[in-house]
Amino acid sequence: MTTRTTTLSLPATGEVAAWTERESRLALTVWAEPNNPTLGAWLTRRAQTGSETPARDVVAAIVTGDLAGLSAAEIEAVNQIRPRTLLGDGLERAVRWLDSHADAVFLIPGDDAWPAALDALGDRRPVGLWVRGDAAALRHARVIAIGGARASTGYGDHVAGELATELTEQGVAIATGAAYGIDGAATRATLAAGGTPIVVLGGGVDRPYPAGHNDLINRVAAAGGAIVSELAPGAAPTKWRFAARARILGGLSQASVIVEAGWRSGSLLLAAETAQLGRRVGAVPGPITSPSSAGTHRLIREGGATLVTDTADALALL
C-alpha cells in the first residue's frame, strides 16, 4: 500500500533535511515542469553515488540555493525551479487535497503500485504520479493506448469505440487522454464494456479536462480505472503539458493505436513516444479523401506503423 504524506514541512521552516523521499518528490511535482531530463539525470546521479534520498538532496539544493558540486545543467535547473518554491501555498494545498480524497494516492518509484513500465523512460521518467481511482490499473498486464483526432468523424468514433469494446472483452486495459473525439469515444466504450480505463491528464487530477468530459473522467475512477497525472493537484492543463503527457501514455502501454489523425495532429506525439520506447504502433486507415486520416496514412507510409483494420490486428501489436 502507498503511504500517504501528511507531515510535510515547508521550505521556510528550514527543515528540508528532515523530509522523506516521498515528500521531496511530491514537492518536485508542485515546483517543476514535467518531462525535465536534466532533473531526471540529476536524481539518477544522486542515486548512483550512493544517496538513499536523491530527491531530498535535489530539493535541498533547490531550496537553499547551494550549488556546490552541481553541473552547469543542474545549476540551470535550480535557477528555473527555485523561484517557484516561493510562490503561494502549492505544497500545502497538494497535501490537503491528498488527505481529503480517500480514492487518491501519490506514487513514487519503488512503491508496490508503481508502474514499472514507466522506468523505460529513463531520465524522462516522472518523479511521481498522482492517481485517483485504483492505482493497480497502472500495472495491468496488457495495456493499449488509443489516440486520435479531437475533431473526429463519425467513422473514427465508431472504429475507436469498436476497438475499445472488443479489446476490453479480450482483457486489455485501454489508456487515453480523455480528450474530445477519438479519446472520448474509446473511454466511453471501455466504461460501457466494463473494462479498465486509464486516463492520463495534462493538468492536476483534480482538474478534469476538457471540462465537457468532467463526468466521463470522474466515472473512470468510480469504475475501478485510474486517472493519472505527474502534476500536483491544482496544476492547469497547458499545451506543453499535453505534449509531455504523451510519453506517460506511451510508457504505460505495451502498444498504441492511432485511429484517426490529421497531418499535424497532436496524437502523433503518442505514436512517436511509443516508437521511441521500442514498442509497437498501429494506425487505422481511412478514406483517402479525408484530411482526418492524413496523419494515420502518413504513419503507415513513413512512420513504421502497422496497419490496423480490426481487433485482431491490434492484439497482434502486444
Does residue 109 fall inside a structural domain? no
Does residue 81 fall inside a structural domain? yes
pLDDT score of 64: 87
- 105, pLDDT greater than 70: yes
- Residues 124, 263: one domain? yes
- Residues 122, 48: one domain? no
Alpha helix stretches (DSSP H) within the chain: 21-31, 37-48, 54-64, 72-81, 90-99, 154-169, 182-192, 214-222, 239-252, 268-276, 294-302, 311-315
- Residues 271, 127: one domain? yes
Q: How confident is the model at residue 16 (pLDDT cuts 50, 70, 90)?
A: confident
pLDDT score of 179: 97
CB atoms within 10 A of CB 222: 11
pTM: 0.93
Does residue 244 fall inside a structural domain? yes
Q: Quick: pLDDT tens for 284-300.
A: 999 999 999 999 999 99
Does residue 299 fall inside a structural domain? yes
Round to whole Å and give the CA distance between 106 and 98: 8
CB atoms within 10 A of CB 46: 18
CB 219 within 8 A of CB 88: no
Task: Give the dihedral sign, CA 271/108/45/17.
Answer: positive
CB 131 within 8 A of CB 234: no
- Residues 164, 282: one domain? yes
- 86, pLDDT greater than 80: no
Q: How confident is the model at residue 84 (pLDDT cuts 50, 70, 90)?
A: confident
The 3 state secondary structure assigned to 258-270 is ECCCCCCCCCHHH
- Residues 83, 120: one domain? no
- Residues 24, 168: one domain? no
* Residue range 244-270: mean pLDDT, rounded: 97
Round to whole Å and give the CA distance between 248 and 243: 10
Q: What is the CATH number of the domain that holds 182?
A: 3.40.50.450
Q: Quick: pLDDT tens for 194-220.
A: 999 999 999 999 999 999 999 999 999
User: Which structural domain, as residue segments, surrounds residue 286?
Assistant: 116-315
CB atoms within 10 A of CB 62: 26
- Residues 165, 57: one domain? no
Q: How confident is the model at residue 88 (pLDDT cuts 50, 70, 90)?
A: low
- 13, pLDDT greater than 50: no
- Residues 203, 261: one domain? yes
- Residues 68, 136: one domain? no
Does residue 126 fall inside a structural domain? yes
Check residue 305 and report its DSSP letter: P
- 3, pLDDT greater than 70: no
Does residue 102 fall inside a structural domain? no
Does residue 172 fall inside a structural domain? yes
Domain count, the chain: 2
